[in-house]
């Protein structure tokens, strides 16, 4: 990694603290397996495939946390240029606007500035992945029936971060020499969600042209 990239991806710039897997847990072993397949320089399409004998829920859980950490970091690198003034609406170009909705303060889809949307999004995901009833960490504790539904919602919302970064802040990413890193992370994410049908096709529309050049 170049010095420039080291500065970009240092821990001070992380938008949120990283969620780590505890050594000795099944998740930690799966996380290591996923990292090893990536670092082996495997084709990303192969790297996302479910390892033989592993449980799909476990594999998805590990990747949701990993993507949260990585995308969190990517947004952290450009967050100084994503302000209420530059991005008064959370969007992906003129055609796509994302409104925030949750079960607490924002009961209806609400238009927000991108930084506020990102902050609420990362907080919301953190609550989900730290909830033992949704993301159990103990071997043998079953996943709830709603797990895949929650995972899909998290991944769909994380995809919107890519949309915003690519469409509104890619000049900043390029300026920092982080283009290759962000592209690899995007390809890994795209192959994963399409391999297991975890994101609705209409969510992928805003980056369709770029994806067809990059991933096919």
| Binding positions | 82, 87, 164, 169
Cα–Cα separations (whole angstroms), residue 65 to 8, 18, 21, 69: 21, 9, 9, 6
Between vectors from CA 127 to CA 126 and to CA 130, what angle results, nearest 5°? 80
H-helix or E-strand containing 214?
A: helix 208-215
Give residue 140's region: left, alpha or beta (phi > 0; psi -120 to 50).
Answer: left
Which two three-digit tokens encode residue 100?
A: 């925030």
- Distances in Å between the Cα of 58 and the Cα atoms of 3, 31, 89, 134, 145 are 35, 10, 35, 12, 13
User: ∠ at Cα 67 (64, 72), nearest 5°?
Assistant: 125
Chain-centroid distance of CA 73 in Å reads 10
Pairwise CA distance, residues 90 & 96, whole Å: 9
- Tokens 């993507």 sit at which residue? 67
Detail the residues annotated as belonging to a binding site for Zn(2+).
82, 87, 164, 169
CB 214 within 8 A of CB 183: yes
Question: Which are the contacts of 85, defined by CB distance < 8 A and separation ≥ 6?
Answer: none
């Amino acid at each position: 990694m170049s010095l420039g990239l080291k500065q970009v991806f240092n821990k001070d710039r992380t938008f949120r603290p990283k969620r780590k897997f505890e050594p000795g847990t099944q998740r930690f072993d799966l996380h290591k397996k996923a990292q090893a397949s990536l670092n082996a320089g495997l084709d990303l399409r192969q790297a996302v495939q479910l390892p033989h004998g592993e449980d799909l829920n476990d594999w998805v859980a590990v990747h949701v946390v990993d993507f949260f950490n990585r995308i969190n970091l990517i947004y952290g690198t450009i967050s100084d240029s994503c302000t209420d003034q530059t991005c008064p609406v959370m969007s992906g170009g003129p055609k796509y606007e994302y409104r925030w909705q949750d079960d607490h303060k924002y009961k209806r889809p609400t238009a927000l500035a991108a930084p506020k949307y990102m902050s609420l999004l990362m907080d919301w995901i953190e609550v989900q992945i730290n909830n033992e009833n949704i993301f159990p960490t103990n071997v043998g504790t079953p996943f709830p029936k709603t797990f895949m539904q929650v995972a899909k919602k998290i991944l769909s919302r994380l995809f919107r971060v890519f949309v915003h970064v690519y469409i509104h802040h890619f000049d900043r990413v390029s300026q920092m020499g982080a283009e290759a890193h962000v592209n690899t992370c995007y390809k890994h994410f795209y192959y994963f969600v399409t391999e297991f049908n975890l994101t609705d096709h209409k969510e992928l529309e805003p980056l369709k042209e770029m994806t067809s050049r990059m991933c096919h």
